[in-house]
């Protein structure tokens, strides 16, 4: 015997539910366990047969949990409703309940059309108590499901914001120390000014040519969507530049260099690395830019970038060639829709 969906309607008389539970249990008064849940039947509540694993009772809210209507859930098992990856943790929690025979709470993630959803599930064993002093056995498993997806999302956002705040504080301290040391830096971003950066590129080019090693030059452009997030607000633009400056500094080493060319264009020198490594590091920077939270006047400003990567000696052998190769790669990234890292073409003229 199982419950039909009409038995779960709001008009259900609690006495009828008690009677059905009593009959289902074969003499065990399950209503004692469930009548206390009646005020919250709008929550996701289910009862499974402990032996077969089939659902014999589901509240309407279980439709949102398992993705099917009440009529389709009854007499089904988790294996028939969910993926194998989702079923295994559920089964493990139920086995613990059967072994301990006491209320247990566990956390679960289920796959849905909207992605992973997170739940807290509290399970209670419903015992069948036979006569003649035979030990009771677990007849049913009653579970209450609480959707924690939105709560976990907010927690993750809060953690991300805290991490970024700590990163900002560390970056500000590094910038303060660098400014105290007398280095010529852009006051907003804390990166090199154009003149100092060009000097460092030329020194790197000379050193790499003499020691037969490689390095990479990256040109970065803020995409229009970033600049237009607050087009008439200079303070908002400064917040974006400050955030990008922190990311540039945190993704470059002491032997590297980052530079602000103007409000929308920037450059990075990566010492001693080739195209593959440069691409990997800049792809990480691109992802960080796209997910960066920049709070300003109660709104979140967006920041996406596109990048062009050139290297010595594989894509260019002179300063002008290197700059030209990086510009061409950047233009290709912009033509491909932006928010992407593009590599300059490797030369095959025998001069590598």
Average pLDDT over residues 36-57: 77
pLDDT, tens digit, for every residue of 102-111?
Answer: 899 999 999 8
Percent of the residues in the chain that have a pLDDT greater than 70, as a whole number: 80
Average pLDDT over residues 240-252: 93
Whether the predicted pLDDT of 257 surpasses 60: yes
Look at residue 176 in the predicted model and tell me its pLDDT: 67
Whether the predicted pLDDT of 173 surpasses 90: no
Whether the predicted pLDDT of 185 surpasses 50: yes
Q: Higher-confidence residue: 34 or 200? A: 200
Look at residue 295 in the predicted model and tell me its pLDDT: 84
Whether the predicted pLDDT of 13 surpasses 60: no
3-state secondary structure the chain: CCCCHHHHCCCCCHHHHHHHHHHHCCCCCCHHHHHHHHHHCCCEEEEEECCCCCEEEECCCHHHHHCCCHHHHCCCCHHHHCCHHHHHHHHHHHHHHHHHCCCEEEEEEEEECCEEEEEEEEEEEEEECCCCCCCCEEEEEEEEEEECHHHHHHHHHHHHHHHHHHHHHHHHHHHHHHHHCCCCECCCCCCECHHHHHHHHHHHHHHHHHHCCCEEEEEEEECHHHHCCCCCCHHHHHHHHHHHHHHHHHCCCCCCEEEECCCCEEEEEECCCCHHHHHHHHHHHHHHHHHCCEEECCEEECCCEEEEEEEECCCCCCHHHHHHHHHHHHHHHHHCCCCCEEECCCCCCCCC
Residues 6+ apart with CB under 8 A from 92: none
Average pLDDT over residues 130-150: 81
Look at residue 244 in the predicted model and tell me its pLDDT: 95
pLDDT, tens digit, for every residue of 266-322?
Answer: 999 999 999 999 999 999 999 999 999 888 887 888 899 999 999 999 999 898 999
Residues 6+ apart with CB under 8 A from 100: none
Average pLDDT over residues 168-189: 72
Look at residue 170 in the predicted model and tell me its pLDDT: 82
Look at residue 315 in the predicted model and tell me its pLDDT: 92
Look at residue 5 in the predicted model and tell me its pLDDT: 35
Q: Higher-confidence residue: 93 or 180? A: 93
Look at residue 178 in the predicted model and tell me its pLDDT: 62
């Amino acid at each position: 015997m199982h419950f039909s969906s009409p038995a779960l309607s709001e008009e259900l008389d609690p006495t009828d539910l008690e009677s059905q539970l009593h009959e289902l249990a074969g003499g065990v008064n399950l209503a004692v366990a469930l009548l206390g849940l009646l005020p919250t039947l709008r929550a996701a509540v289910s009862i499974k047969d402990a032996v077969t694993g089939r659902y014999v009772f589901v509240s309407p809210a279980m439709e949102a949990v398992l993705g099917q209507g009440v009529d389709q859930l009854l007499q089904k098992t988790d294996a028939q409703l969910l993926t194998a990856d989702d079923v295994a943790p559920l089964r493990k929690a139920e086995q613990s309940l059967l072994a301990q025979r006491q209320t247990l709470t566990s956390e679960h993630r289920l796959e849905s059309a909207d992605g992973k959803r997170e739940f807290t599930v509290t399970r209670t064993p419903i015992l069948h108590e036979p006569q003649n002093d035979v030990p009771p056995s677990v007849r049913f498993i009653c579970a209450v499901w609480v959707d924690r997806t939105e709560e976990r999302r907010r927690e993750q956002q809060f953690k991300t914001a805290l991490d970024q705040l700590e990163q900002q504080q560390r970056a500000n301290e590094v910038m303060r120390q660098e400014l105290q040391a007398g280095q010529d830096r852009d006051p907003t971003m804390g990166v090199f000014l154009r003149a100092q950066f060009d000097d460092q590129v030329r020194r790197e080019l000379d050193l790499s040519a003499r020691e037969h090693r490689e390095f990479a030059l990256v040109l970065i452009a803020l995409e229009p969507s970033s600049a237009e997030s607050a087009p008439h607000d200079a303070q908002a633009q400064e917040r974006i530049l400050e955030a990008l400056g922190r990311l540039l500094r945190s993704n470059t080493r002491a032997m590297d260099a980052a530079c602000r060319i103007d409000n929308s264009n920037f450059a990075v020198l990566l010492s001693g690395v080739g195209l593959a490594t440069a691409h990997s590091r800049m792809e990480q920077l691109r992802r960080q830019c796209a997910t960066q939270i920049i709070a300003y006047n109660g709104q979140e400003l967006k920041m996406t970038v596109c990048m062009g990567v050139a290297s010595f000696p594989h894509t260019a052998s002179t300063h002008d060639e290197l700059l030209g190769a990086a510009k061409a790669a950047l233009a290709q990234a912009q033509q491909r829709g932006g928010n992407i890292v593009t590599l300059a073409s490797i030369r095959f003229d025998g001069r590598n």
